[in-house]
Amino acid sequence: MKKKIIISTLFICISIALIWILYYSLWTGKKNIYIAVACSFSGKYKNYGSEVLKGVQLYVDQVNATGGIKGSAIKLLIFDDKGTVQGAVKVAKSIVRNKQIRLVLGHYFSSCSLKAAPVYEKNMMPSINYSATYDDLAKNNDWLFRIIPPNSYQSEFLTAFAKTTFNVKKACIIYDNDAYGSSLLKSFIEKAKELCIDIPLRISIDSENSVIDQHAKEIVQKINNTKEIDIIFLATHADISANLIVQLRKNKCNQIIIGADAMASSLFIDSLAAYQKKYAFSDIYTNGIYSVSWFHHNMSGKAYVDFAQTYKDKYHLKPSLISTTAYDAAHVAISALQSIDMDRSSRTVRKKIKQSLEQYYDQRHCIKGLTGNIYFDTFGDMKKSMIVMQLRKRGYIPEFTQYVSVSYEDIAENIIQKGIDESIIASDDEFFVKTNIAFIRLANVHFNQINFTTKTFHARFDIIFSVKGPFYPNNIHFINAKFPVVLEKPNKIIQHMDNSQTFIFTVDGIFTHDYCSKKYPFDTQTLSIALIDKHRSIDKIWFSAVNQIPVSFQLDTDKWSPLYSNSYIENKEMITDYGQIDIFSQYHADFVMKTKLTSKIILLFLPLCLFVLLVYIGYFIPVTRMNISIMVNVLLLIINTYFHAYFDNALPYINFSEYLYLFMYWCIGFTICFQAFLLTFHLKQLTRTVAVIRIIGIILYPIMITCTVFISYYLVSHI
Amino acid sequence: MQMRLNILFLFFIFFGVTACNNIVSKEERMAHLRSSENDIYIGIVDTIPNATQFVNGVKLAIDELNTSGGIMGKQIIPLIYYDYNNKKSALKIASKLSNNPDVIAVIGHFDPEYAISASILYKEAGIVFISTGTDLLRYGGDYIFNNYMHDMDYVDKITDFIKEENFSQIAILNDRHERNKILAENFYGQAVEKKINITFHKSFSPNEKNFRDLLSGLKLEKFDIIFLVCRDLAASLLINQMREMDIRVPIIGTYEIDTQHFWSQTGKNAEGMIIPTNFYAKNPRKLTQDFVKSFSVAFGVDPDEISARGYDFIRLLKDIMYQKNSYLPLILDTGIRFMGSWDGVLSRYQLTRKGQISPSELFYKKYDNGKFIYLKQKAKKKEDTFELVEEITLRLAVNDNIATMDPGFAHDTTSIEVCKQLFLNLTQYNDKNCEPEPDFALSWKANEDQNAFRYHLRKDVYWTNGEPVTAHDIVWAIQRNLRSKPDVPDIRHLFILKNARAIHNGEIKDLNKLGITVIDDYTLDFQLEYPAAYFPAFTGLPVYSPLPSKAIQKWGKEWTRPKNIQTNGPYRLVFYETDASAILRKNPTYFNASRVSIEEIRYNIIPNNINVLYLYKSNQLDIVGGPFSTIPLNYIQTVKKEPETRFNYKKGSYLSTLAFAFNIQQSPVDNILLRKAIASVIDRHFITRFIAFGYQIAEKSFTPEILMSEKIDSAAHFHPIHAQKMMTEAGYFNGHTCPEIIIETGTTVMHQKIVKAVSLLLKKHLNISTKIIDPMHSKTSSSHLRIQKYDASYPDADSFLYDSYILSRHYTHFNSDQISTLHENAIKEKSRTLRNILYEKIDNILIQKECILIPIYYDTAHYLVQSRVKGWNHMPFGGQLINSWQLEEE
């Protein structure tokens, strides 16, 4: 009877608990938030879709892992437009029918976006575009936001760059007949007229219907017949551009070639290699080929380094430009979602999202994305300084001269003089000031004397600066140097053909680091070198990390082994010598190392394992001999204390290994108490109770140990 | 008999209630309240939680009262109860409140029956009780107030409305509930008195469910509206059945019907239903609008009638408490009774000594397409005060005082603007291409030689005193303007008329010799000194506007004061104070008054443009910018970027061009090749991008594009290579041998910056050294180049181009027979298009062929226009066409 009561009470309790859990998970659980990703996921262009999705998914996963948006998880709904116009319209219609969708990321192609955007606008659905560059896409659509600059802006920027950097007087443009080519053509002509660049030759290509190989000869002929052409502007798609470049160079057309974002894509680089093979042309064809992009990983910051690492861990791939931009698109979308109240009707929410996106409107009101600060102009377009890149064998690297965006207030003082000197260019109400790139790479990196008490380390390395124009090594300030390190005399100066110079210095100094040994001995530590030009802000010098190949480094210590390194650039606001706030470029190189499995660590764990075993043996000793076991355990306690004191690293906080000792105290203490109880019960002659408790102890102890191991593993891998 | 029974019943209740409840009597309450330190309480008794916004309305008023410091250092705390339509609980609440010595007033008890029972308790307890039942005051007494429009008032207003809306035959349906019966009877009486035909009058039991018999009887009758007096339940059943039987006439109900239950039960069948209500959320009164705004901010929903009522109760108490500086119920009671009238958010209230607090205005809301529209809302506007009603007022900013409101003297843009609203001009300008269009003149015709014009005038134009405006008023105005001392500023524009100059100079005394002939009251002939095809553009100037001769003769200079002024335009002046504002209201006598949408224009005189921008951003101004309150140049970039302003940014072009002029008497710029070389290195794109932000670049012509019919391209383009070639051809190799060029700088900072940039550009591209000197006004200037702004004095290419050529001649020393010939042909050319081609040729000679002028940019007006202003347009020549704009409710 009693038993029945106990069982039924237990049953009721469990049911109540279950109902309670169900109630909370079902009724009070937050609803999901849906975002549509519209792209081509099948057919010829399915790769684009998967790249986009990788980037977006990564950001969404990160947000969901930290609790989503006010407790609601974000879910992606995938819509495949197949890269066709009809597909895009169909997809757009089904997206707007779904009342749960808050906004759309997409579409990939300008043509698809052009057709889908009016559907979104009509149904008041905000959309964020990350890849379509067609000019008027956002202009007549209040609900479309684009996080990359449009064609005209790119071409204007490139044209202004060509004029001011190469003093171009005559240009030739080869353009595709489609929307992409003609919009580039239009803006190129306009800007060229403004900058007084003559365009004696305009060649149109019908990429859909003709074979370029046949045209190529004709084109070469035309270019060779027209005198004094300084520059060829390619307003063509990636594949055709690659083909044309190889053919032009093969036929000795050695003019500077510039092209917009199509030429910055990885497809272009791959095609170039393919055409080079096809035409068996191995000459140095790449000199003097320039393109623009809104992002270059050599100029990216820590956020990108972390992103690339996570991306690599997840997909085992390097992130492409498109997945990086898609990640930013997701970032913008979710930031807008985070700032609004979701518990409204879907129309109100979408309207709020739109208003929230409109609140990002300048450098100070923006989202700090991987591709730089993201904000929108009146039309919902993004216009910021582009990075001009030069083609090298392994891909594009930033050009020595760049233009960075500045506010009018910063340059108002002698804007006229600087404008006439062409050190400032203006485009669409924005001002860009000419700046010089300094490429930095570290080599022969050696670290030793890594001291965790003083948080310092000793480093010896070669630092290589590649610059064009003035360079003041004296200005270079190592941010984390314990004692000032001054770059005085370079070991070597190399003068290059293109007027650039390479300076090599050897640095030997003590640097500080942020040591965190909470996970010791399973920790990884980062030694970093950070530097800045303390007198020249970003409008005078802009660093670029040469990180195509990671820098290897050596550690003169048996405690640590090198893991990997990366380098990145951060832009920091600082007060200048004149008391103004300015932005400075900072170079960072991070070297990550891991604790080696040394004898000391073995010594640390071996006794602990032995103790665990010894204590466990104690559970099996007959109760009559329990007093011996207690004495052994007390001895173990003393030895444990000794080892704890011996390995104590005198840090102000408890680290992982110390927790193990504390746990050991507890284990032994527990066992001693347990045995003491057993002994008491035994003396009271409660044989049955003694037997039961003993069995419980024998089962409980290993469970306790196993749990601890699992928890420790979790902590080590997650903290 | 009924009354006696009622009294008996009430006494019974009273004894019953007092026997079992120990209430705090009025004397005890007064004594307690006088000495107590406690906060004071107001009881709020609603029916069902959240059924209406009543409690929220009360809460809002109490919150406002408490945040403004409470009353005599005490806070007011609402005690909120719900009676759930249950008499027992209503009485329980009443006794509870009467028992609390800190309660000073109770508001609520919406069921008239419970209200009466409760009122007895409150009266005994000395608590001010405000409720809505009509019967409440039947038995009279202190402390009890009724808050509904009196029945007679109510039916009077409704019958008026029915009459105004031209319904002639009415059917009355009412239930036999005591109150409704009386209301229907009263309505009947009023209707008969107002000669409205009642074709059907039937009553039914309040619990009736099937109305089909009644309705079949109704269907046989002729009527065009039904007056329905019953409870909401019966009303919804009745209407649903009525629509089933295909009776589709409009129905006018009473406030009893206006419940959530009714609208949800009747749904689409309620289409066309009219309900008289005391609350009109869009009532253009500041009090109402402030309440609606703060209510929706506080609770996220729009207020309803009952919430406004609740809000008004508390505000009324608050006003009395402040006035009498006391919160004792007795004082409140007398305070309210002797107040007379009071302004609330519903409307103005009439307060009687008997305890009636009734709102004076009744609005009619019609259920139309699933939402309510209010009928006759605009007729309710008050005229006697200058209270700002945002919804109907266009709020503008001007930097300066209005120099004059006399069109003859209007010269600056602000005066021209205000005069345009007050007075008709003979012609007005099209905002797209500045072509003259009819205003007071309906049509005009020129003779063959283009030196005489006949104007036919409108016959439906009146001065605000009702007298007609005729051709004589124009003749009188022009004669006055010619002889006026001091001279009117635009006098030279009158000299085109035959003998005008001589009359002005006093050489001719006989005014009849002036080139104007009145043919009849509405036909007028002008004779000109010389042919001028562009004359209709002249007559759009205010100097040609008709003037009210009688008013001017009577009041002299004082005639433009609000109390004296006679106008004939779309607006009339009602208020003007220097350094403050001018208020213009729609002129009912304007010939096209029905098409004028904006009721009131308010020109706020604010000298500081930063303040103007601030006021705009805080939504206190509708339009800023343009020539009236210039947006500071360094703010234009921000304005174009910030989300709160960038969507409202607009721009337009003035008829004004900034240009450089060559002095061709000076060597070396007497050499045309050098002039062309210099013109080719002045990079206009650079100037507009780096110095003159937001101005429209003068890329193609000197004359602003708006005055040109064709897209011409006569300006030299930036081309340093060509420039260097031309310079070499001119004999100056690489600038070394070229003498120093002297440039006269301008007076404004921007002009100085442009001159500096030009000097640097000359050095960079042509290696010419320059010297910048201050502007010289003497005729014998030694400089080579001068920066100058060229304006049109009336919107025609002739004014712009020919005047610029003539006026700058003393500096440029450029004389061209070709231009003179072209001009002679142009002024005789009837067709504007052909005329413009001739002017384009002049433009081409000045800019391209002879390279006398180097245009830089066209002056651009920047505006911020709130999105509620629809139909906005920029007038390049001042005098906006506000009468064609609308204000859209947001």
Q: Secondary structure of A181-250 in the HEC alphabet? A: HHHHHHHHHHHHHHCCCEEEEEEEECCCCCCHHHHHHHHHHHHHHCCCCCEEEEECCHHHHHHHHHHHHH
Enter the tokens of residue B243: 């629509």
Residue A461 has pLDDT above 90, yes or no: yes
What is the least distance, in Å, from the CA of B674 to any CA of chain A?
19
| B506 and chain A in contact, CB less than 8 A | no
pLDDT averaged over every residue in chain A: 86
Considering only residues A452 and B526, tell me which one the structure prediction assigns the higher pLDDT: B526
Q: Please tell me which residue of chain A has the smallest CA distance to B756.
A: A416
Q: Does the beta-carbon distance from A358 to B643 stay under 8 Å?
A: yes
Considering only CB atoms, B721 lies closest to which of A169, A358, A377, namely: A169
Considering only residues A652 and A96, tell me which one the structure prediction assigns the higher pLDDT: A96
What is the Cα–Cα distance from B119 to B337, expressed in whole angstroms? 17
Considering only CB atoms, A359 lies closest to which of B643, B685, B720, namely: B643
Mean pLDDT of the B851-857 span: 92
Q: Please tell me which residue of chain A has the smallest CA distance to B647.
A: A378
Mean pLDDT of the A660-676 span: 86
Say what the pLDDT of residue B1 is.
Answer: 46
Cα distances (Å, whole numbers) of residue B770 to A66, A136, B160, B666, B735: 66, 44, 83, 14, 11
Q: Please tell me which residue of chain A has the smallest CA distance to B637.
A: A429
Confidence of residue A311 (pLDDT cuts 50, 70, 90): very high
What is the least distance, in Å, from the CA of A337 to any CA of chain B?
18
Confidence of residue B15 (pLDDT cuts 50, 70, 90): very low
Considering only CB atoms, A415 lies closest to which of B690, B717, B719, namely: B690
**pLDDT tens figures, A475-486:** 999 999 999 999
| B749 and chain A in contact, CB less than 8 A | no
Residue B9 has pLDDT above 70, yes or no: no
Phi, psi of B48 (to 5 degrees): -130, 140
**pLDDT tens figures, B444-499:** 999 988 899 999 999 999 999 889 999 999 999 999 999 888 888 989 899 999 99
For A:417-436, CB contacts with B below 8 A are 417, 419-420, 424, 426, 429
Residue B282 has pLDDT above 80, yes or no: no
User: A with B: how many residue pairs have Cβ under 8 Å apart?
Assistant: 47
Say what the pLDDT of residue B382 is.
Answer: 45
Q: Is A323:A52 a contact under the CB 8 Å cutoff?
A: yes
Say what the pLDDT of residue A495 is.
Answer: 92
Say what the pLDDT of residue B33 is.
Answer: 84
Which of A141, A169, A227, A420 would you mutate first to test chain B, the one with the most B CBs within 10 A?
A: A420
Q: Which parts of B170-225 fold into alpha helices (H)?
A: 178-193, 212-219
Which residues, 6 or more positions from B111, have their beta carbon under 8 angstroms from its beta carbon? B47, B83, B85, B90, B133
Placement of tokens 């969507």 in the chain: B647
Considering only CB atoms, B643 lies closest to which of A361, A420, A429, namely: A361
**pLDDT tens figures, A414-431:** 889 989 988 898 877 788
Say what the pLDDT of residue A544 is.
Answer: 94
Q: Does the beta-carbon distance from A424 to B690 stay under 8 Å?
A: yes
Q: Does the beta-carbon distance from B686 to A419 stay under 8 Å?
A: yes
Say what the pLDDT of residue B379 is.
Answer: 44
Enter the tokens of residue B33: 């309240």
Q: Is A600:A648 a contact under the CB 8 Å cutoff?
A: no
**pLDDT tens figures, B568-594:** 999 999 888 888 889 999 998 899 888
Residue A525 has pLDDT above 60, yes or no: yes
Q: Does the beta-carbon distance from B718 to A196 stay under 8 Å?
A: yes
Which of B636, B641, B649, B725 would you mutate first to test chain A, the one with the most A CBs within 10 A?
A: B641
Q: Which parts of A66-178 fold into alpha helices (H)?
A: 85-97, 110-122, 151-166
Give A415's contacts in chain B (Cβ within 8 Å): 690-691
Give B717's contacts in chain A (Cβ within 8 Å): 193
Q: Is B857:B696 a contact under the CB 8 Å cutoff?
A: yes
Interface pTM, i.e. ipTM: 0.80
Considering only CB atoms, A426 lies closest to which of B689, B719, B753, namely: B689
Residue B203 has pLDDT above 70, yes or no: yes
What is the Cα–Cα distance from B336 to B328, expressed in whole angstroms? 12
Residue B111 has pLDDT above 80, yes or no: no
* pTM, entire model: 0.72
Residue B271 has pLDDT above 70, yes or no: yes
Say what the pLDDT of residue B378 is.
Answer: 44
Considering only CB atoms, B685 lies closest to which of A194, A416, A420, namely: A194
Confidence of residue B857 (pLDDT cuts 50, 70, 90): very high
Q: What's the distance, CA B67 to chain centroid?
A: 33
Q: Tell me, what amino acid is at B229?
A: V
Say what the pLDDT of residue B384 is.
Answer: 47
Considering only CB atoms, A408 lies closest to which of B637, B643, B760, namely: B637
Q: Does the beta-carbon distance from B686 to A358 stay under 8 Å?
A: no
For A:316-375, CB contacts with B below 8 A are 355, 358-359, 361-362
Mean pLDDT of the B824-836 span: 88
Give A354's contacts in chain B (Cβ within 8 Å): none
Considering only CB atoms, A429 lies closest to which of B640, B642, B685, namely: B640
Confidence of residue A91 (pLDDT cuts 50, 70, 90): very high
**pLDDT tens figures, B382-438:** 444 566 777 788 999 999 889 999 999 998 889 999 999 999 999 999 888 888 999
Q: Is A236:A188 a contact under the CB 8 Å cutoff?
A: no
Which of B682, B690, B721, B764 would you mutate first to test chain A, the one with the most A CBs within 10 A?
A: B690
Which residues, 6 or more positions from A196, have their beta carbon under 8 angstroms from its beta carbon? A169, B718, B719, B720, B721
Q: How many residues does chain B have?
A: 890
pLDDT averaged over every residue in chain B: 85
Confidence of residue A507 (pLDDT cuts 50, 70, 90): very high
**pLDDT tens figures, B285-305:** 778 888 888 888 888 778 888
Confidence of residue B19 (pLDDT cuts 50, 70, 90): very low
Considering only residues B710 and B283, tell me which one the structure prediction assigns the higher pLDDT: B283
Q: In what order do the strands lie in the sheet with A198-205?
A: A198-205, A170-176, A231-235, A256-259, A289-293, A387-392, A395-398
Per mean pLDDT, which range of A531-535, B214-218, B511-515 is the poorest?
A: B214-218
Give B719's contacts in chain A (Cβ within 8 Å): 196
Q: Does the beta-carbon distance from B641 to A424 stay under 8 Å?
A: no
Confidence of residue B51 (pLDDT cuts 50, 70, 90): confident
Q: Does the beta-carbon distance from A362 to B641 stay under 8 Å?
A: yes
**pLDDT tens figures, B647-690:** 899 988 888 999 999 999 888 899 999 999 999 999 999 998 88
Per mean pLDDT, which range of A221-230, B131-140, B795-804 is the poorest?
A: B131-140
Give A358's contacts in chain B (Cβ within 8 Å): 643
Count CB atoms within 10 A of the CB of residue A253. 18
